[in-house]
Amino acid sequence: MKPDQPATREPLLPADDEQHETEALAQLTKALESALTVQKPRESFARELRAQIMDEGADVPARLRSLSPRLQFAAALALAAGCLLLMLRRLLGNGGGELVEDTVPSSA
């Protein structure tokens, strides 16, 4: 092929195969439409889901109260450890957020 000629593409499927595949997909679509029926959710499920969605904006203490006691303990422990690390960082002098670089003597 020469660079100035437009590229010609062969069809992915021959015309007969395309027609056969299209018909097969149409039959499958009709079979699915007849087999599947529209279902309405139970009223209790809809109520529970609506309540969960509306409660999504609940404050943090309410979310913590809804956790299991083990998860509450783990959350409290993680919070205490984070506070302790922040306090130690301030007390040890690296509280400004600046990067501390190692000084390496140059061998010039």
Total-model pTM: 0.34
Assess contact for 81 and 73: CB atoms under 8 A: no
Token readout for 1 is 């092929």
pLDDT digits (tens, 9 = 90+) for 40-85: 989 999 998 888 888 766 677 777 777 889 998 998 999 999 999 9
Cα(81)–Cα(88) distance, rounded to whole angstroms?
10
Number of domains in the chain: 1
pLDDT value at 13 more than 70? no
Quote the domain boundaries for residue 83.
Answer: 42-90
Q: What is the dihedral of CA 62, 63, 68, 70, to 10 degrees?
A: -100
Q: Is residue 47 part of a domain?
A: yes
User: How do residues 84-100 score in pLDDT, each as one tens digit?
Assistant: 999 999 888 765 555 55
Q: Is residue 100 in a domain?
A: no
